[in-house]
Structure 1
Amino acid sequence: MTEFRPQRFQILPPAVKNLIIINALLLLLSSVLEKYGIRLSDYLGLHYWRSHYFRPWQLLTHLFLHGNFTHLLSNMFALWMFGSLIENIWGTKRFLVFYFICGVGAALCHLTVLGFEFGAIEKAFAQYQLNPTVDQFGRFVTQYINGPFQESFRNYQHLWESNPSNTTFINESSYYINLYIRGGYDITAHGQVDGIIDQATVGASGAIFGVLFAFAYLFPNMELYIYFLFPLKAKYFVALYAIVELFAGIQNSAGDNVAHFAHLGGMLFAFILLRYWQKNNRRHFY
């Protein structure tokens, strides 16, 4: 059972309100700056630690950026829907501490997963360089090249297959794979390009999933209406959501740019923090 404080319930409490305002303003600023060739995500978005864009403060600042209005709207609606009640119960200070710990924890989980993924790609690339044949190139493309780049690599593979005696493809193939992974100067495009390790992760989803978990933790039997029609208890909704995220993260489908393990990381840190508070402060959890 959760203890409600004897205070007036606020539909839009201070922390939730200001988080929504800041996120909306930064989306607007990002859109304006992009027209001048400035990507705010290069400075504030979360980057892999081996990217030249990486800065420590991005563990926190990425929570305030969003890719588009739909992304912002879905996250801020969830923040208002679930976070408002929690902030009213805990107070603004405790809610903000919880929100940012979940967000930073989600970022750390995401970076850990990226470390394994990029480590596997770079290991496969090192092995390819020991035996750079067209067959090995095709296998590398199948396993590790995703999204819009795959078609270009496939076309290059077909070109190599049509002229297997041309040894130029050996050095070129390594060059293009390295460019895909680490970025650098593209002789074809005549300019600097980013590699996959330079991709930015933005959004408050990790922190939001922490808030969602807290809601289910505090009110496990409260019914939520899925698509406003189907009632489901909060504890089952969150458990189902976590399973879906885990499955999607493991499957890692081509073109899926959602940080599923960041979502799970937000839930994990929420659980750890809630258990710690429950053990050490029974005025709010008993």
Structure 2
Amino acid sequence: MSTTLLIILVTVGISLAAWNNPALMDRWIMNPYRVASRGQYYRLITSGFLHADWSHLLFNMISLYFFGGFIEQVFDVLFPGSGALYLVGFYLIGILVSDIPSFLKHRNDPGYNALGASGGVSAVLFAAILFRPLMPISMFFIPIGIPGFIFGGLYLAYSYYEARRGYGTINHDAHFYGALFGILFMIVVYPAVLPQFIEQIAGWRLF
């Protein structure tokens, strides 16, 4: 079984358990106020295995399935024998890093909660875009894909804009900072990916 599939199965299992156990959901959800006042820093990680509903869960896990497998292969090549460990660490740190801005912003708000694997999934997605910027990506069941580097730019701009607005229930900060972490991590561990990325998009033509 691939490490990506194992992460998906664990996440689905924990999300289902939390839906049927409100005490577990309350104990593991990312509540910045409780993190700050009670030192429950584990919530920055455990919240990444919880989801609000089926649509939230399926969207994240389908995205992870399609892009996580490729990044798993990348890590296997870059770190022979340790690829699985790097993938798990990369994914968990992506969740952690993406939660920090929300924690700092809402640490004095007892009523704010956040959950979901979006930060980790965004890290995986943007790491994949860095290696394959021309791969077509389609979202929300749009049949026509757009090149990954264009999709990525639009995604970052939208996430940043919505995060600054602060409306709705979606944690856009997690999307934005998870994506940035994915990009920076891959550049640090494999610097050659940046000139390769530039070379690929330099040769792209619309027609």
Maintained 8 Å contact 1:113/1:261: no
Query: Offset of 1:200 from its aligned partner?
Result: 2.2
Q: Deviations over 1:164-193 (max 9, x none)?
A: xxxxxxxxxxxxxxxxxxxxxxxxxxxxxx
Please give the alpha-carbon distance, in whole angstroms, between the structure 1 residues aligned to 2:138 and 2:170. 24
Please give the alpha-carbon distance, in whole angstroms, between the structure 2 residues aligned to 1:41 and 1:88. 33
Please give the alpha-carbon distance, in whole angstroms, between the structure 1 residues aligned to 2:171 and 2:99. 9
Maintained 8 Å contact 1:48/1:198: no
Corresponding position: 1:83 with 2:68: yes
State the SS of the aligned residue for 2:32: coil
Q: Deviations over 1:192-251 (max 9, x none)?
A: xxxx42432111001111111111111011122453422311011011011111111112
Unaligned runs of 5+ in 2: 76-82, 197-207
Please give the alpha-carbon distance, in whole angstroms, between the structure 1 residues aligned to 2:111 and 2:38. 7
Amino acid across the alignment from 1:269:
F
Maintained 8 Å contact 2:33/2:106: no
Corresponding position: 1:248 with 2:149: no
The corresponding residue for 1:25 is 13
Give the aligned CA root-mean-square deviation in angstroms.
2.2
The corresponding residue for 2:79 is none
Please give the alpha-carbon distance, in whole angstroms, between the structure 1 residues aligned to 2:166 and 2:101. 16
Corresponding position: 1:224 with 2:151: no
State the SS of the aligned residue for 2:52: coil
Distance change in 2, residues 1:247/1:220 (3 Å):
same
Relative contact order: is structure 1 or structure 2 higher (C-alpha 8 Å, sep ≥ 6)?
1
The corresponding residue for 1:106 is 98
Distance change in 2, residues 1:74/1:96 (3 Å):
same
Corresponding position: 1:59 with 2:51: no
State the SS of the aligned residue for 1:197: coil
The corresponding residue for 2:86 is 94
Query: Offset of 1:114 from its aligned partner?
Result: 2.6
Give the TM-score normalised by the residue count of structure 2. Answer: 0.81
Greater share of helix residues, 1 or 2?
A: 2
Please give the alpha-carbon distance, in whole angstroms, between the structure 2 residues aligned to 1:229 and 1:53. 47
Query: Offset of 1:265 from its aligned partner?
Result: 1.1
Query: Offset of 1:273 from its aligned partner?
Result: 1.1
Identical amino acids, percent of aligned pairs: 23
Query: Offset of 1:63 from its aligned partner?
Result: 0.9
Corresponding position: 1:208 with 2:121: yes
Amino acid across the alignment from 1:240:
L
Amino acid across the alignment from 1:23:
T
Please give the alpha-carbon distance, in whole angstroms, between the structure 2 residues aligned to 1:87 and 1:263. 20
State the SS of the aligned residue for 1:67: coil
Please give the alpha-carbon distance, in whole angstroms, between the structure 1 residues aligned to 2:33 and 2:56. 25
State the SS of the aligned residue for 1:66: coil
